[in-house]
């Protein structure tokens, strides 16, 4: 099986399959050979969701051009998304036509009647498409295709791929990042104790960070694109004493990198035993920085991490 490596902006290496598009375990093959639809349970705006599909999977928000794909994607979404009402598809509707982000033709539509112009979502309850009245932060469905093949006449000894291998070394619903050989998942609305416990129940730990590249991926996984004064993400830093350097990672890995915001860690109020990660803050200088913070506060989400299993 041929594989290639995509080098993206900040030198992360994301693995994908050349015989067909990379397909996570929860993915399904589309009607186009080598295509794969899959859901991501990360709440993002339309543009950020599409950027995520592009950056980490070399794909786009999903286009749907056949009734069969429509029904398969609905089945996928209903089984994958536990609590979502709507999920992004990759279309913009002008009231009569759809423009798909991946350039697919406007040959099939499944809107509820009198849908207004806007970005297209799939409604999991009704099973039809509509357009939300504002650019919500919701989960989304990516579509990856193997149509970027640059060799026009592949060797006849290489079998033509027509299936989408379930090649992700991560459990269903987790995001695989090749560079760190890790699987990530967000658990929403936690405090320090419940976030830690929920990761452990899933055989994972709160995420640890050991380099600027790893800090960047945590940012990419946790930002939503909408600034929020309380956009705090819990990850695995834990205070072990009162000193500035008295910290450890909950997964036991070495404490060898920090990205504290200016003046941090300050142990303000004397009980800042956890760390919050600034995902979407109004001050750009604070973006992706860390602040020691009380564990019993409400965090937008916890980021869990576990090693990929091959
Ligand atoms: Ca602090």
Within-domain flag for 176: no
Mean pLDDT of the chain: 84
Q: Does residue 285 sit in helix, strand or coil? A: helix
Does residue 211 share a domain with residue 258? Answer: yes
**Same domain for 232 and 128:** no
Query: How far, in Å, is the centroid of ligand 1 from the Cα of 36?
Result: 43
CB of 99 closer than 8 Å to CB of 91: yes
148's CB contacts (< 8 A; 6+ apart) are 58
CB within 8 Å of 203: residues ≥ 6 apart = 306
Residues 190 and 136 in one domain: no
What distance in angstroms lies between residue 39's CA and the mean position of ligand 1's atoms? 35
Residue 32 belongs to a domain: yes
C-alpha 272 to ligand 1 mean position (Å): 6
**266 C-alpha to center of ligand 1: Å?**
5
Residue 132 Cα to ligand 1 middle (Å): 38
In a domain, 171, yes or no: no
Both 127 and 238 in one domain: the answer is no
Domain assignment of residue 157, yes or no: no
Judgement on whether residues 136 and 186 belong to the same structural domain of the protein? no
With respect to residue 158, please indicate whether it lies within any of the assigned structural domains. no
Per-residue pLDDT tens digits for 112-147: 999 999 999 999 999 999 999 877 889 999 999 875
pLDDT (0 to 100) of residue 148: 44
Question: Same domain, yes or no, for 16 and 116?
Answer: yes
109: pLDDT strictly greater than 60: yes
Q: From 144, 171, 206, give the residue that closes a domain.
A: 144
User: Quick one: pLDDT band at residue 34, thresholds 50, 70, 90?
Assistant: confident
Q: 183 CA distance to ligand 1 centroid (A)? A: 28
Split into its structural domains, the chain has a count of 2
For 231, half-sphere exposure in the C-beta direction (CA atoms, 13 angstrom radius) is 23
Residue 197 has pLDDT above 90, yes or no: yes
How far is it, in rounded angstroms, from Cα 110 to Cα 128? 6
Classify the phi-psi angles of 118: left when phi > 0, otherwise alpha if psi is within -120 to 50, otherwise beta: left
Reported as a single tens digit per residue, the pLDDT across 7-29 is: 333 333 333 333 345 677 778 98
Is 79 inside a domain boundary? yes
Residues 127 and 236 in one domain: no
Q: Tell me, in angstroms, the distance from the centre of ligand 1 to residue 259's CA.
A: 13
**Do 205 and 119 fall into the same domain?**
no
Q: Are residues 91 and 139 in the same domain?
A: yes
**Ligand 1: centre distance to CA 251 (Å):** 22
Q: Name the helix (H) or strand (E) containing 76.
A: helix 67-80
> Which one is predicted more confidently, 236 or 228?
236
242-294 pLDDT, tens per residue? Answer: 988 899 999 999 999 999 999 999 999 899 999 999 998 878 889 999 999 99
286 CA → ligand 1 middle, Å:
13
Q: How far is the CA of 241 from the centre of ligand 1 (A)?
A: 14
Those residues with Cβ within 8 angstroms of residue 41's Cβ, 6 or more apart along the chain or in another chain = 80, 81, 82, 84, 139, 173, 185, 186
Identify which has the larger pLDDT, 223 or 166: 223
Provide the pLDDT for residue 22: 66
Q: Is residue 156 situated within a structural domain?
A: no
- How large a percentage of the chain has pLDDT more than 70? 86
Domain boundary among 119, 144, 169: 144
Instruction: Measure 198 CA to ligand 1 centroid, in angstroms.
Output: 24
210 & 110 share domain:
no
> Which residue carries 């299936």 as its tokens?
163
Question: Given this model, what pLDDT does residue 21 score?
Answer: 57
User: From ligand 1's centre to the CA of 196, what distance in Å?
Assistant: 19
Domain ranges, residue 261: 181-307
Considering the domain boundaries, does residue 37 fall inside one?
A: yes
Ligand 1 centroid distance, CA of 154 (Å): 57
Q: Quote the ligand 1 centre to 297 CA distance (angstroms).
A: 12
Q: What CATH number is associated with residue 219?
A: 3.10.100.10
**Helix residue ranges per DSSP H, 114-222:** 192-201, 212-222
Domain boundary among 90, 125, 144: 144
Q: What is the C-alpha to C-alpha distance for residues 142 and 148, in angstroms, rounded to an integer?
A: 16
**Across the strands, what pairs with 180?**
none
C-alpha 288 to ligand 1 mean position (Å): 14
């Amino acid at each position: 099986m041929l594989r290639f490596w995509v080098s993206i902006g900040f030198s992360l290496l994301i693995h994908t399959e050349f015989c067909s598009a990379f397909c996570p375990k929860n993915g399904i093959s589309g009607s186009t050979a080598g295509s794969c639809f899959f859901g991501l349970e990360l709440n993002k705006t339309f543009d950020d969701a599409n950027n995520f599909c592009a950056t980490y999977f070399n794909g786009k928000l999903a286009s749907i051009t056949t009734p069969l794909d429509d029904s398969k994607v609905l089945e996928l979404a209903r089984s994958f998304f536990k609590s979502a009402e709507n999920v992004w598809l990759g279309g913009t509707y002008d009231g009569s036509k759809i423009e798909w982000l991946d350039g697919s033709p406007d040959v099939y539509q499944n809107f509820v009647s009198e849908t207004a112009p806007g970005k297209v979502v799939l409604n999991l309850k009704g099973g039809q498409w509509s357009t939300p009245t504002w650019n919500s932060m919701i989960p989304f469905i990516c579509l990856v295709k193997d149509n970027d093949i640059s060799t026009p006449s592949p060797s006849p000894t290489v079998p033509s791929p027509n299936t989408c291998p379930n090649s992700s070394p991560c459990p269903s619903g987790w995001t695989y990042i090749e560079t760190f050989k890790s699987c990530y998942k967000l658990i929403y609305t936690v405090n320090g104790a419940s976030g830690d416990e929920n990761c452990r129940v899933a055989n994972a730990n709160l995420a640890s960070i050991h380099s600027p590249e790893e800090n960047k991926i945590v940012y990419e996984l946790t930002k939503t694109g909408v600034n929020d004064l309380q956009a705090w993400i819990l990850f695995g830093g834990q205070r072990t004493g009162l000193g500035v350097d008295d910290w450890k990672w909950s997964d036991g890995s070495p404490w060898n990198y920090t990205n504290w915001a200016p003046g941090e860690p300050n142990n303000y109020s004397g009980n800042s035993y956890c760390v919050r990660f600034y995902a979407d803050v109004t001050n750009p200088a604070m973006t992706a920085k860390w602040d020691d913070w009380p564990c019993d506060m409400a965090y937008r989400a916890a980021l869990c991490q576990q090693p990929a299993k091959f």
